[in-house]
């Protein structure tokens, strides 16, 4: 699947509801756009390296993204009306506040590892 800039995606989780707030007691979700890696790298230049196995997303105008406690949760995107799981929440800073997008592991890049984790009970 193509990770095109501006692609509209959806994230969900039971993580914190804001930077200084507690965990949610209900499943929350947000709409986000895939954003340029250079914007993401700038936001995290002193913390983490953004690699080709990662994609960054946020709603820059509203500051929506994932937050602490959402790690591992899905990022699904629609392409021609079909939903695809394209990311898994990895990390972020300040819960999607402007200039602090969420960082997601690209599922496509992780498929070889995912397949080794399959269990047949």
Place of tokens 């995606």: 9
- The CATH class for the domain spanning 8-116 reads mainly beta
| Local confidence band at 19 (pLDDT 50, 70, 90 cut-offs) | confident
pTM of the predicted model as reported, rounded to 2 decimal places: 0.86
Q: Taking all residues of the chain, what is their mean pLDDT, rounded to a whole number? A: 86
CB 44 within 8 A of CB 93: yes
Per-residue model confidence as pLDDT tens digits over 43-58: 887 766 888 899 999 8
């Amino acid at each position: 699947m193509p990770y095109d800039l501006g692609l509209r995606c959806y994230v969900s989780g039971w993580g914190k509801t804001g930077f200084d707030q507690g965990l949610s007691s209900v499943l929350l979700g947000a709409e986000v756009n895939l954003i340029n890696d250079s914007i993401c790298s700038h936001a995290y230049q002193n913390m983490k390296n953004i690699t080709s196995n990662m994609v960054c997303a946020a709603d820059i105008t509203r500051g929506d993204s994932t937050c602490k406690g959402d790690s591992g949760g899905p990022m699904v995107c629609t392409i021609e009306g079909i939903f695809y799981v394209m990311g898994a929440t990895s990390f972020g800073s300040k819960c999607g506040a402007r200039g602090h997008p969420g960082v997601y592991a690209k599922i496509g890049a992780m498929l070889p590892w995912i397949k080794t984790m399959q269990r047949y009970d």
